Amino acid sequence: MDRAHGQVLMTTIYPIPLQPNPQQFTISLAGTSYTFTLRWRNATNGGWFLDIGDAQNNPLLSGIPLTTGASLLGQYEYVGIGGDLWVSTTSDPDAPPTFTNLGTDGNLYFVTDP
């Protein structure tokens, strides 16, 4: 609760629909359109990586690994996206999404700022 204003501040969690293949799409987060590009890097310490661009796909953030257990945007608060991104894998909460389970068992969520 925001005690100064007597308001209840709530966080909302939105699943971001993904498919288990490299992809690019536009999505609205906190009222702003962004372009998400997901790429798979098949290498040691590889995995899924996210690039975020504005609505015209001008780069804002590049090469964010889809890791579990940590905020993906915590260190990028200055970009002003208005929330955070979290990854969760249903079968093993500590395992990052694999090439074949992104969007099914390995999921990406947008969490609004309260």
DSSP 16-54: E---SS-EEEEEEETTEEEEEEEEEE-STT-EEEEEEEE
User: Looking at beta carbons, which pairs linking 45-49 to residues 24 or more positions away fall under 8 Å?
Assistant: 47/96, 47/97, 47/98, 48/96, 48/97, 48/99, 48/102, 48/106
Domain that holds residue 64: 13-112
Domain-located, residue 81: yes
Q: Does 2 reside within a domain?
A: no
Note the pLDDT of residue 10. 78
Q: Is residue 60 part of a domain?
A: yes
The predicted pLDDT at position 113 comes to 74
Q: At residue 92, what are phi and psi to the nearest 5 degrees?
A: -150, 100
Does 93 fall in a domain?
yes
Question: Which among 113, 103, 101, 114 has a CA at the least distance from the CA of 16?
Answer: 103
In a domain, 4, yes or no: no
- pLDDT given at position 2: 46
Q: Is residue 6 in some structural domain? A: no
pLDDT at 41: 96
Number of structural domains in the chain: 1
Query: What pLDDT does 1 receive?
Result: 42
* Residue 93 confidence (pLDDT): 87
| CA angle, 32 then 79 then 65, to 5° | 95
Q: How do the pLDDT tens digits run along the chain, 114 residues long?
A: 444 555 666 789 999 999 999 999 999 999 999 999 999 999 988 999 999 999 999 999 999 999 999 999 999 999 999 999 999 999 998 899 999 999 999 999 999 977
In a domain, 101, yes or no: yes
Q: Return the structure tokens found at 69.
A: 């257990």
